[in-house]
Structure 1
Amino acid sequence: MKAAAKMGIFRISFDVVLIAVLSLVLATHYLRVFSAGLDNAVLIAVIVVGLLPVLKSSYNSVRERKISVDLLAAIALIASLIAREWPSAVFINLMLASARILDEFTASRAKKAIESLLKLRPDTVKVKRGEDFVEEKTENLRVGDAIAIGAGGRIPIDGIVESGAASIDQSSLTGESLPLPKERGDSVLSSTLVLTGSLVIRTEKVGKDTTLEKIIELVKAAEKGKTRITGIADVFATWYIVGTVLLALAVIYFTRDIKLLLSLLLIACADDIAVAIPLAFLASVAHAARRGIIVKGGNFLETLTKVKMLVVDKTGTLTKGKLAIERVRPFGTYGEKDVLKYAAMAGFFSRHPASKAVIEYAIRHDISFERPKEFEEIPGKGGTATLNGHTAVVGRATFLKELGVSISNDELKEMDRLKDEGYTVTPVAYGENLIGYITFADEVRPESIEAVKQLKKLGVERIVMLTGDNKKVAEKIASSIGITEFQANVLPEDKVEYIAKSVNKKFKVAMAGDGINDAAALARSDVGIAMGVIGSDTAIEAADIALMQDDIRKIAEAIKIGKQTMAVAYQNFAIWAVVSVIGFVLIFGRYIGPSGAAAFNFLTDFFPLLNAMRLFRMRR
């Protein structure tokens, strides 16, 4: 990191000095300060120095089998030297050095974003050692340590609240400043701020494993990939440079005019676009991060604007994903507590919302249950747990039947009737007997209705809901939100298959899910969007875009940011095209020669760059 910083400072210092020297040399040339011989010698010397970084960049492009604008600049510089157009070559170097400084400015904005995130890590924290809390450096914390944070303090780790109560500001991660109450048993995340109250927190993740550090790594990755940030710039560079070379060959073939050829290359040198397009996308990626939208590269912002179909996993995305127990129905000699006890055992290690709801309910109502010695979960079907030679089973009725559980027709009809009413019904078995069922209801997120309307306005033509629920439940939820397409009784592997069938060459398909159960489907789509991923390593790794809040409206916001960015990118191409046409008229009309073309290009370079920099001031 220090070596990279030193190299960056060196490059900026080199280009700043080079610009100063080039400007001074141009001034002495036009003021005729030196004799012709000395003047030419000085011009050649600074041209050669300025040529070195251009040749290096061109060599790297050729080695990587890429056609870059630097290659065109190198050709123009060499042509200027051959034609003995020393002032033109100086202007080219001046133009390229300015572009490199702006490129470094782009990188520095990303580095500042990283530095601002790093400042959210406190240097010291109070850690429990023996019976007392002592102040230690944050870097010395280990998993399992208990730390104390008071009002005004930032939490340096991811952990669980052991005691106390506080109001927490998570805006550093989510972009939302609405305080959240935290008490015993709640999860807290690194970099979040304790507004009021105090907490004792048991450390679960430290250092590179914390949510903050994961986000920092994503920002770093986006900054490193800035030269390959968007497909539109890559396509432009390839075709434009090939076209320019062909046009240059035609000019020299038909006119035999080396000065006209040089003027053409100088006008055509699109180094401004080479910097302006990545600059625009990087500015938007940084803005999105401040809004709790982590984009792993500008190319995903570009792809978002082409999305016509959004596939959404229901649980935790359109609904709150936190099922509430509506009813517990025991069968035979068993009671409600028995049904809940065995359901809690069977789902003890499960991440399924129904299992979490059962365990929370059992704890809240003082229903004791034992931790199973053996546990198995079949995604999309259910789970089993074994204790003292007996097996508890929870899941779909078909799954229970596969395991030999006896279910009567009357029991099936009773459960089916509730399913038809839109409830989620989970049967529970112990041994080979069905001992009852639990009825759940999942609440639709109020913002889902608004989000669906926003997405349709932004050009998303199809929104498809996937759910493991039965058709009646799926239909009820979809219609309440405004979604007309849905797939019910979907298993995790079915999601991947559905996405694979939907992906096509005509339009882009995005998938939004929780990033854990949906990881494979997210990876298979054109753009994978993980919802509410704070604290989830799997989600951050699985998605192309990670939303730090459980708010589907953030998808619409990300599309808006992408559209704003693409609008600026196309504006920059339009600006460049108009300027280039004017330049071509001037050179083919013989109004300006190579020196004038170089000066014209240098002065007009700043138009698209200034336009792109508007995105750094982007508002909500």
Structure 2
Amino acid sequence: MIGIPHRRKRFEIIHELPRRIRFKSLIMLTPTLDLNYLQASVESLSGVKSVRINGPAFTLVVEYDGSPAVRAAIIKTLQFIPDEAFLDNNEKKHDVDLFDVGARTAVAAATPFLPVPVQAATSWMLAIPGIVQGLETLFTRGVKIEVLDGTVKTLSMLRGDYFTSNSVGALLSLGEYLEDQSEQKSTDLLKTLLKPQVDKIWIEQDGREIEIDFKDLKVGNIVICGPGELIPIEGTIIEGDGSINQSSITGESVPVHLQPGDATLSGAVVEEGTLKIRADKVGAETGMARINRFLESSLRSQSKSQVKSAELADKLVPLTFGAGLGVYALTRDAARAASVLTVDYSCAIKLSTPVATRTSMYTASQAGVLLKGGQALDNLAAIDTLVFDKTGTLTKGELKVTDLVPMPLFSEEELLSIAAGAEEHYAHPVARAVVNEAKERDIALPDVGGVDFIVAHGVSAYVDGKRVLVGSQHFVEEDEKVNCAFMKKKAQQLRNAGKNLLFVAMNEKLIGLIAMRDELRPEALEALEAFKAAGIKRIEILTGDHRSTALALAAQLPPVDAVHWELKPEDKAAIVKDLKKGGAKVGFAGDGVNDTPALVCADVGICMPSGADLARESAQVIMLNEDMRTLVEARRIAVNNRETLSSCLWSAVVINSATLLLAGMGKISTLAAAMTHNLSTVGILGYAALKTSNTTYKAEPLESAKETT
């Protein structure tokens, strides 16, 4: 592996202040080292304020809160750089700094006033590295921009035009510096999203399951993870077995079956089963997988539009080179040929795409939506159909208990206590409603063990040694064979009132019903109308609710074109697939484990901030707050990005074609052509960044949303 030998090369502290450390290491000269990854791995540590990398000086400066624990974590992170930080095809940046730009500019300005021998010696010294790089590129990668630059310098030097050679070199240096700064700025903006999330976690302690802050987790604790939950630690399974989705880490789409004795990866998601995992690594030690996933999806990977732009840019370089050779063959004018060769379409086309894309992604995050990579941005711009799961998306997902209907021999308090005890572990709007109602009534919850989540059906748990079932009528009556006939009439009355029902059974006998109601989001109608106005042709609602509840909701939302009720998870995915078969570009918005199949098969999956871990992992787009209008803004940003890239492409083609024509006709000098090309490239990059950095709507995240990000 590429990274293994480099793990032994440590960073050396060369200067330190109470809240600032400067490190140095020759490992930064390694061509395959991804400096973005290195910077992000340190920036993600809690307590680190900023990280600045100086590639040419192979130094790294870290500003932090000054605590010994954070200092130790920084040093440990830099001592053990994982394999993921090294890329086989990593392209090093220009590594041009302001000193280099200033020095080249000063030499170019002084050239006319120097003796000819000094001009020649100085100019050849500055030109040879570029000429050598051009030759190396020609034989290893073909005709690229380095070949054009090297040829221009060679022609100018052979003609004895030292001023032009040095001036072109200074302009190229300035252009490279500004291009690097533009791209790095957009990358830095995006990497600010890498700060660790703050989560709660369930552990087993003294035979009881308790909830603690993730930051309080210690090595050796027994962590409990159920279906749909993300495994937050690297550890060893000591009890239980299940199907684990590791695709976000390993890239392997097929879930793996793990059992006692097997190791778990931080960031994997439990699809089926409940696991008890001994924590072997906690805190910063588990952060690398998350960082790598983010960088792979958001920084390293390229969208289809980025790939197409890069391919087009590479194809245009040989055309420019051919035009230069053609001009020289026709005119025998080396100066005119050099002027043509300074015109390069590829810079503006190739660089404007990552600048605009990353800036758009950051702008969307500021508006309240996290996009997992450039492809998510492209897909969001392309959709013409939106499908919403009802609960937690168009509705608040803040269900409120309205009725408690216990069977004889049970009180309302007993029914609620038993149900809330079983549901306390489950991150779902229904579960939260039951637990919140118990807390509001100040009802103590019993000790619970053996919790098992049955996706889209309900929860099974042991309360005081008795098996409790909480879930839908289908789950309790049909799957678990509990007689619910006594409540049939009452259940129908509650459903006719538009309420959702929860059936509660203990030791295979029904002990009562819990009815609750969900409210429509206040901005839902406004958001749906805005989607229709913005070009979304069709909007549909999917729900597992009964027909009466679903139709009552749809009646409040005129923009909705269709509503589907009493659906299973596979039914939701089937509807999305049918829409795609009909030619629609579909976006699906959901938040539960049962929404995962639809999130995966949609053109773009959208997850709410309070969504289950499996839903967040499966989605391409994650909302950072509960306001649906932020999703409308995110799509506007995506469409704006697409239009900006189109404008950049045509601007580059028009400006460079005009410059190429004038250069070929001998109307402008080599220096003027180089200046026009470089200034236009910088201008296009500036336009791309500026045009994609504006958001017209920004909602403040809710506290719950802040915790999930």
Tell whether the structures are fold-level matches, with TM greater than 0.5.
yes
- Give the deviation of 1:109 after TM superposition: 2.9
**Amino acid across the alignment from 2:114:** V
CA contact (8 A) 2:360 2:637 kept: yes
Match of 1:6 in 2: 54
CA contact (8 A) 1:341 1:369 kept: yes
The 3-state SS of whatever aligns with 1:480 is coil
Distance of 1:58 and 1:339 partners within structure 2: 77
Q: Is 482-491 or 544-553 further displaced after alignment?
A: 482-491
Distance of 2:169 and 2:407 partners within structure 1: 85
Distance of 1:58 and 1:421 partners within structure 2: 75
The 3-state SS of whatever aligns with 2:425 is coil
Q: Is 40-49 or 328-337 further displaced after alignment?
A: 328-337
Distance of 1:59 and 1:221 partners within structure 2: 30
The 3-state SS of whatever aligns with 1:422 is coil
**Amino acid across the alignment from 2:115:** F
Q: Residue 552 and residue 336 in structure 1: after superposition, are their counterparts in 2 closer, same or farther (change >3 A)? A: same
- Give the deviation of 1:556 after TM superposition: 0.7
In the TM superposition, 1:457-536 aligns within 5 A as 457-482=533-558, 483-503=560-580, 508-514=585-591, 517-533=594-610
Q: Taking every aligned residue pair, what percent have the same amino acid on both sides?
A: 24
Match of 1:166 in 2: none
Match of 2:378 in 1: 302
Instruction: State whether structure 2 residue 478 is matched by structure 1 residue 397.
Output: no
**Amino acid across the alignment from 1:19:** V
Distance of 1:119 and 1:251 partners within structure 2: 49
- Give the deviation of 1:590 after TM superposition: 3.1
Match of 1:288 in 2: 364
In the TM superposition, 1:470-619 aligns within 5 A as 470-482=546-558, 483-503=560-580, 508-514=585-591, 517-533=594-610, 541-592=617-668, 594-615=670-691, 618-619=694-695
Match of 1:77 in 2: 150
The 3-state SS of whatever aligns with 2:469 is strand
Distance of 1:287 and 1:41 partners within structure 2: 49
Match of 2:105 in 1: 23
Instruction: State whether structure 2 residue 324 is matched by structure 1 residue 242.
Output: no
CA contact (8 A) 2:137 2:146 kept: no
Which of 128, 136, 139 aligns to 1:48? It is 128
The 3-state SS of whatever aligns with 2:396 is coil
- Give the deviation of 1:452 after TM superposition: 0.8
Distance of 1:106 and 1:580 partners within structure 2: 20
Q: Is 539-548 or 6-15 further displaced after alignment?
A: 6-15
Match of 1:382 in 2: 458
Match of 2:398 in 1: 322
- Give the deviation of 1:445 after TM superposition: 0.9
CA contact (8 A) 1:99 1:275 kept: no
Distance of 2:374 and 2:456 partners within structure 1: 35
The 3-state SS of whatever aligns with 1:609 is helix
CA RMSD of aligned residues (A): 4.2
- Give the deviation of 1:586 after TM superposition: 0.8
- Give the deviation of 1:278 after TM superposition: 2.2
* TM-score, normalising length: structure 1: 0.72
Q: Is 269-278 or 463-472 further displaced after alignment?
A: 269-278
Per-residue CA deviation, residues 561-601 of structure 1 (Å, 9 max, x unaligned), is 22333333233223222212321331343323544432332
The 3-state SS of whatever aligns with 1:385 is strand
Distance of 1:21 and 1:385 partners within structure 2: 73
The 3-state SS of whatever aligns with 2:54 is helix
Distance of 1:557 and 1:324 partners within structure 2: 30
**Amino acid across the alignment from 2:482:** V
Match of 2:349 in 1: 273
- Give the deviation of 1:539 after TM superposition: 5.9
Distance of 1:582 and 1:93 partners within structure 2: 22
- Give the deviation of 1:426 after TM superposition: 2.3
CA contact (8 A) 1:288 1:558 kept: yes
CA contact (8 A) 1:307 1:507 kept: yes
Instruction: State whether structure 2 residue 109 is matched by structure 1 residue 33.
Output: no
Per-residue CA deviation, residues 67-109 of structure 1 (Å, 9 max, x unaligned), is 9xx9234244236526736666545543432233123323553
The 3-state SS of whatever aligns with 1:592 is coil
CA contact (8 A) 2:371 2:621 kept: yes
Per-residue CA deviation, residues 535-578 of structure 1 (Å, 9 max, x unaligned), is x7656544333222111111111112223333332332232222
Per-residue CA deviation, residues 247-288 of structure 1 (Å, 9 max, x unaligned), is 754774697247465444322343133333322233333333
**Amino acid across the alignment from 2:564:** Q
Instruction: State whether structure 2 residue 436 is matched by structure 1 residue 360.
Output: yes
CA contact (8 A) 2:313 2:350 kept: no
Match of 1:199 in 2: none
Per-residue CA deviation, residues 387-425 of structure 1 (Å, 9 max, x unaligned), is 5675332222222233222233x7434423432442212
Q: Is 398-407 or 71-80 further displaced after alignment?
A: 71-80
CA contact (8 A) 2:108 2:166 kept: yes
CA contact (8 A) 2:396 2:519 kept: yes
Q: Residue 233 and residue 437 in structure 1: after superposition, are their counterparts in 2 closer, same or farther (change >3 A)? A: closer
| Deviation beyond 6 Å, 4+ runs, structure 1 | 8-13, 52-60, 114-121, 213-223
Per-residue CA deviation, residues 1-55 of structure 1 (Å, 9 max, x unaligned), is 95551216678874434433433443345x36332x5534432321223456777
The 3-state SS of whatever aligns with 2:144 is helix
Match of 1:436 in 2: 512
Instruction: State whether structure 2 residue 94 is matched by structure 1 residue 94.
Output: no
Distance of 1:9 and 1:462 partners within structure 2: 56
The 3-state SS of whatever aligns with 2:539 is strand
Distance of 1:115 and 1:269 partners within structure 2: 29
Q: Is 460-469 or 425-434 further displaced after alignment?
A: 425-434
Distance of 1:423 and 1:452 partners within structure 2: 24
* TM-score, normalising length: structure 2: 0.64
Distance of 1:24 and 1:476 partners within structure 2: 75
**Amino acid across the alignment from 1:589:** M
Match of 1:135 in 2: none
Q: Residue 443 and residue 119 in structure 1: after superposition, are their counterparts in 2 closer, same or farther (change >3 A)? A: closer
Residue-pair matches, total: 530
Q: Residue 590 and residue 319 in structure 1: after superposition, are their counterparts in 2 closer, same or farther (change >3 A)? A: same
Per-residue CA deviation, residues 211-255 of structure 1 (Å, 9 max, x unaligned), is 9x9998888678843xx6554343133134325525754774697
CA contact (8 A) 1:106 1:282 kept: no
CA contact (8 A) 1:266 1:594 kept: yes
CA contact (8 A) 1:77 1:89 kept: no
Distance of 2:383 and 2:419 partners within structure 1: 41
Distance of 2:526 and 2:377 partners within structure 1: 22
Q: Residue 379 and residue 338 in structure 1: after superposition, are their counterparts in 2 closer, same or farther (change >3 A)? A: same
**Amino acid across the alignment from 1:34:** P
CA contact (8 A) 2:586 2:603 kept: yes
CA contact (8 A) 1:425 1:440 kept: yes
Match of 1:456 in 2: 532
Distance of 1:95 and 1:341 partners within structure 2: 74
Match of 1:136 in 2: none
